[in-house]
Structures are given as C-alpha cells and as structure tokens.
C-alpha cells in the first residue's frame, strides 16, 4: 500500500540556518505529494503541494520538488525563523476518487533565536 | 479555519463509556475524514465519508463508528472507550476536484480515556 517515510526528529536549528526534512514515498501509481505544517495547539495547514513529477511546490520560503526517480519530496528552507518552529508532515494521495491522504510520522522542528 | 469546527475541543471520559465527537463544516464539501494523531505514528485514517450516508473504513477503524446524516456534519463515535483511544482527533474536509487540493483540517479534539 501507499506509505510515506520522513526523517525522524526532533530537529533543532539556530535562526537563519538551512533546513532540510527528508521524505520518501511508496505508491503504486502517480500520487500527489504534500507538506503540511502543524503549529502548537493547532490543526494541520497545507504548506505546499506538487501533483506531478518534477513539479516544485513553494510557499513561505519553503520548497519541495517531486522526484519520481528517487521517490522523494524533500522539504527545504534556506533561512529559518523562530516562527517556523512546528511539526511538519509529508503526505501523499493516490487520487483514486476518495482523496485519502497517507501521512508520514511528522518531524518536530525547533528554531532557536 | 472557520469553515470547519470540531466539538468538544477537550474531553475526559471513563473506560467503557460511549463518546461522540462532532465535526461541522460550512463549505459544502463532499468528502470528510476522521484521523487520529499519536506520537510516532503521524495521522492515521479512522473513517471517511464521500457523501450523505456514504462512509468507509480507514486503517484504524476498530472500535469506532461514524455517521453522516447531513452534508455538514460527520460524527465519530467510540462505542466503548478504551485507554488506547486516548489521542488527538482531527476532522478534515476535501473538495471534489479533478486534481487533489489537499485537506482543510479542524483544530482537533483532545480525548483522554481514564
């Protein structure tokens, strides 16, 4: 079945550092890929998405490129801020008509001033 | 997000009692989902609905049932709560589009079973 594997956290960084969170997936077809972010005490929010190979999703300085050859969708940000402290989830959907999402375990990121 | 609300936000209940969580949307979206969030597991799908009275099981459906009698409401019932069902429960909604736009999530219900 479909599955998503994320790098384990927690990740602790200093402000202005470079952030990478690795995500790889297993799927039978051609899934759409997502990154969600969860700030403390809140629900998940869509951060970015990509729907086909080589697409790049971007939002709020974050980027991720859909790499079919390596089945990956790594999240990157060049200069993090304290406000980026959150839990990040990689997810995929096969889009079979039920739009179900499969999530990774989540990566907790803490940015220190 | 004002388009989707969950109630209650917090609940403590005793083992063996039934519990119902409510998800209400004002977006008229066809698809609704219940997930549970646990450390180390991310979010796991419990049940989902693709229309009024149309529901299906997710990967962790044992011990849970759902009902959707109106487009806007999706209820999750723990038939006889157990400590293993202590978790944070999230409802999500999705549009029916040609592509996949992802979900809009509610703020969650923190359930503690003692």
Tens of pLDDT, residues B18-59: 999 999 999 999 889 999 999 888 899 999 998 999 999 999
Q: How close, in Å, is residue B71 to chain A by CA atoms?
A: 16
Q: What is the pLDDT of residue B13?
A: 96
Nearest Cα to Cα of residue A34 among A15, A14, A51? A51
Phi/psi of residue B43, each to 5°? -110, 135
Q: Determine whether the interchain pair B40/A105 forms a contact, defined as Cβ–Cβ distance below 8 Å.
A: yes
Q: Chain B: residue nearest A8 by CA?
A: B40
Structural tokens at position B33: 């989902």
Looking at the complex, does the CB of residue A49 fall below 8 Å from at least one CB of chain B? yes
- Alpha-carbon distance of B52 to A79, in angstroms, equals 46
For position B101, what pLDDT does the model report?
A: 64
Phi (first) and psi of residue A84, to 5 degrees: -85, -5
Of A51, A89, A98, the CB nearest to B43: A89
Work out whether the CA dihedral B40, B83, B9, B71 comes out positive or negative: positive
The chain A residue lying nearest B90, using CA atoms, is A43
């Amino acid at each position: 079945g479909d599955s998503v594997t994320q790098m384990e956290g927690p990740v602790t960084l200093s402000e202005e550092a470079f952030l990478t969170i690795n995500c790889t997936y297993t799927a039978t077809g051609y899934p759409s890929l997502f990154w969600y972010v969860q700030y403390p005490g809140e629900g998940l929010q869509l951060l970015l998405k990509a729907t086909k190979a080589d697409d790049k999703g971007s939002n709020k300085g974050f980027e991720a490129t859909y790499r079919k050859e390596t089945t990956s969708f790594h999240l990157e940000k060049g200069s993090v801020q304290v406000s980026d402290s959150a839990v990040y989830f990689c997810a995929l959907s096969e889009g079979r008509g039920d739009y179900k999402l499969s999530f990774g375990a989540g990566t907790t990121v803490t940015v220190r001033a | 997000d004002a388009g989707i609300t969950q109630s209650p936000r917090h609940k403590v209940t005793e083992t063996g009692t039934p519990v119902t969580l409510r998800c209400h949307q004002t977006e008229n979206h066809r698809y609704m989902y219940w997930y549970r969030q646990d450390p180390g597991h991310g979010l796991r799908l419990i049940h989902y609905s693709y229309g009024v009275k149309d529901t299906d099981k997710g990967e962790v459906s044992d011990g849970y049932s759902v009902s959707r009698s109106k487009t806007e409401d999706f209820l999750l019932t723990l038939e006889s709560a157990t400590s293993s069902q202590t978790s944070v429960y999230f409802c999500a909604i999705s549009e029916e589009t040609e592509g996949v736009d992802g979900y809009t999530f509610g703020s969650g219900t923190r359930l503690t079973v003692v």
